[in-house]
A and B are shown apart, each in its own frame.
Chain A
Amino acid sequence: MSVNLWLKMIAIVGVLIHCSCSGPPLTTTIAPQNNMVIQNIAVLPFIGLEKQPLLDVMATRVSQTTLLNYGFNIINEGDIRLYLQRKQLFMSQLTTMAKSDIYEELAKEHHIDALILGKIITVEYEKIQGDTLPVIALELKLLEAKTGRLLANSFLKRHGEQYRTALRFGVVRTSTELIQIILTEIIEDWHTKGVLPWPQTS
């Protein structure tokens, strides 16, 4: 095969395979002096969007799964719901306007080290090459459970199209998978920046 033919082939492959790392950068704000040991995490229910009901429930459970697979102990969703019922609190009182004493009491009762607060900012779909692909923006906060102090705050938007490798391969077609990718990216970023050390495994 001639050199020209090789070059042509490489060019075609280059066009077909386009790199998936060109998404908008992750925005993370880290609070200074974080040297907490985090073992037990409570993921509070995500704040969702009216036009995508129950995707927030899915996002909550996906983040629980993601953190559990990193080795953290995840406080059961049911325990948080029962705590709110007993204290006669609405979920919004915990997720949007909670006072530090509520967090402190919750942390004490369930031995929680850190809290995760999430918000689905946007969910859109774009039609590309016959596929309907999700575009999701998430905000994720990490709080110290005992004080309610913000340890890290991240915002990330990702397109399902970004992950295309070649032809129709690689694209993320489901919103749940895209949420999982975003959450993983944020959690890894927190870990890299030292705010979320991986738990000690016995």
Chain B
Amino acid sequence: MLNWFKHKMPLLIVASIFHATTFAHAYSIAILPVADLSKGRNGVDLQITSQLAQQLHSKNFSIVDHEKVMEFMVEHSIRRCGELDTLTCRTMANNLKCDTVLVTTILTNQKDTSELSFISTLYDGKTGQGIWSTVLCRHLNDYQPILGIGKKLNNTDIKQGLCLELAQYLEDKPIELPHSSSEDLHNYRVADIKITPELAQADSELHCQLKMYFVDKDPEYIQLNTGSNTVILQKNSTQHYYEGTVKALGVDGIHPINLVINWDSSHQETVTAISNYEVATQPSQLNIRTLAGIDLGDFYAFSRSVKLIPKMHPVRPIDYWQLTIDDEDGKCVVSETHNPPLPKQLQWSGIDNNRRQLDMGRYNMTLKVCDLAGNISEAASTLYLQPKETELVSISQQFNLEKHQIELLPAQNIMIPIEHWAMTLETDDGKIVYTTQGVNLPALVDLPPQLNYDELNCNVRVLDQLGNRSLISGTRFQIDQSKEMFAQQSSLNWSADF
């Protein structure tokens, strides 16, 4: 028996090597259901998956049972079949005990159903990296018979042909599986980490929620380190979740959070700066820039609306912001509190909380911003509201040294400087007898000495530096050389924004 074994041994070895190289391939494949993009982003074609498995099996590839693949996908909530992440690929290969995972996507063009494209990628189970990939495209017109030669095919035939071609391609092209270097490979993936609050007071408590996946087995425990404090995270009732509470550092600034994964007593891995948190004991600097009006030193004058641009430095996550506006008597006319975010720009049109237009005057505006750590930043500004309908000029007539003069004065409480004014004197029948203009107010206008009219109408047009216009028309003057003359303003006849 021993002799027989000695004689036959070389033959057996040669036969087994021949069998191994000829009939069985060096790697096993798990085939993910073929993603069919023609059926939508999550579409799957199970028929072609099964055909592909059959073709590969017929080429002596070791194929993982389809049911097992489906079970794994359900267990790991995998919805998309056309793509894989590295950890899922490695976990799949590990769980299903295979060397590679084949991911295939097909697309039938919606415009032209006779077009079929097929993309296959083979992923290495140890590294999760793509190692081989191919694109195969076919069109029904490619198979039109010419001069009676050839056979017309349909889509099903083409799909079958592509499966066969792919299997043949894999069989013909020897694929070398990469040698995995364990240094670059991590047996975990941090899916999510939440630190609340992300901005905290010194030495306050932080809550950490971590979602983590592992290739094989879960570690013994996971530690979380905030720089001053270390805590072992507890497993949550929800799968893959860990939680814990730690103390923040006592120093202002952004601090990293590190994880230590303890696999066993001899093996631990540190994940540095997995996330970070900020400690702030002082409020941020808050400034408000005002636009759409005129800066007059002590206050900012506007007529239609004022734009407020708040700036925080440094920018921090906020809890709420509050805007209050008080009138000169200290009565609050606007008060609003809002949740974040702090708008990039605010606009106030001079209306109160009840949406009533406020009177001309000064208003004190205060913006408060409370950050997540409870620090309150504050910025204030004094605004002057001069509604756009305001009469901008008052007119009076004087008689000095035998000269007729008209005095133009800025109306009471007008703060926005005048840009330009123009005055006309006209008769009752509309004939203009005198015009003049200027840029500054107050102004004293000398009337020409020989005006042969008893009465004239005076019209004044004024433009201020914010572009507001007003017209005072119909002010009547009596021109009499013997008496002092007085201007008589007609009934309210002015208009704005002409």
Determine, out of B82-90, B412-420, B449-457, the stretch whose residues face the partner at the interface: B82-90
Pick the most buried of A58, A174, A177: most chain B CB atoms within 10 A of its CB.
A174
Pair B86/A73 contact, Cβ less than 8 Å: no
A71 to chain B, nearest CB (A): 11
Contact A76 B115 (CB under 8 A): no
Residue numbers of B with Cβ under 8 A of A are 37-38, 40-41, 80, 82-86, 88-89, 105, 107, 109-112, 115-117, 119, 121, 123, 128-130, 132-135, 137-139, 141-142, 144, 146, 184, 189-193
A-chain residues with CB within 8 Å of residue B89 when the two chains form the complex? 76
- Whether B37 contacts A57 by the Cβ 8 Å rule is yes
Among B123, B135, B142, B189, point to the contact of A176 (Cβ < 8 A): B135
Closest A residue to B122 by CB, please name it.
A68
Q: Which residues of B contact A185 (CB under 8 A)?
A: none
Q: What are the residues of chain A within 8 A of B107 when measuring CB–CB?
A: 54-55, 57-58, 176
- The reply to whether A176 and B137 form a contact with Cβ atoms under 8 Å apart is yes
The answer to whether B86 and A78 touch across the interface, beta carbons within 8 angstroms, is yes
Does more than half of chain A's interface fall in helix, strand or loop, or is it mixed?
A: helix
A200 to chain B: closest CB distance in Å?
Answer: 14
Give me the 3 closest cross-chain CB pairs, A-B, nearest first: A78-B85, A176-B117, A173-B139
Our pick among B38, B146, B190 for the contact of A86 (Cβ within 8 Å) is B190
Expressed in whole angstroms, the Cα–Cα distance for A74 and B89 within the complex equals 14
Which chain B residues border A132 with CB–CB below 8 Å? 112
Least CB distance, B191 to chain A, in whole angstroms: 6
Q: Which residues of A lie under 8 Å from residue B117 when comparing CB positions?
A: 58, 174-177
Give the residues in chain B near A125, CB-CB below 8 Å. 111-112
Enumerate chain B residues within 8 angstroms of A65, measured Cβ to Cβ: 119, 121, 133-135
> Is there an interface contact between B130 and A76, defined as CB atoms closer than 8 Å?
yes
CB atoms of A174 and B86 under 8 A apart: no
Closest Cβ–Cβ distance, residue A188 to chain B (whole Å): 16
Q: Are A173 and B85 in contact (CB-based, < 8 A)?
A: no
Asked if A62 and B135 make an inter-chain contact with CB atoms under 8 angstroms apart, the answer reads yes
CA distance A82 to B211 in the complex (A): 12
User: What are 19 inter-chain pairs, A to B, with CB distance below 8 A?
Assistant: A53-B110, A57-B41, A57-B107, A58-B105, A62-B119, A64-B133, A65-B119, A73-B129, A76-B129, A78-B80, A81-B83, A81-B85, A85-B192, A86-B191, A168-B141, A173-B142, A174-B137, A175-B115, A177-B137
Give Cα distance in the complex from A58 to B43, angstroms: 14
Q: Return the CB mask of A40-75 against B: 1 if under 8 Å, else 0.
A: 000000000000111101100110111011000110
Over the window 106-147 of chain A, the binary record of Cβ atoms lying under 8 Å from chain B Cβ atoms (1 yes, 0 no) is 000001000000000000010000111000000000000000
Identify 20 new A-B residue pairs, CB closer than 8 A, beyond the known A68-B133, A78-B85. Answer: A54-B37, A54-B38, A55-B107, A57-B105, A58-B117, A64-B121, A64-B130, A65-B135, A73-B129, A76-B85, A76-B89, A76-B129, A77-B82, A78-B80, A78-B88, A79-B85, A82-B85, A85-B191, A85-B192, A174-B117
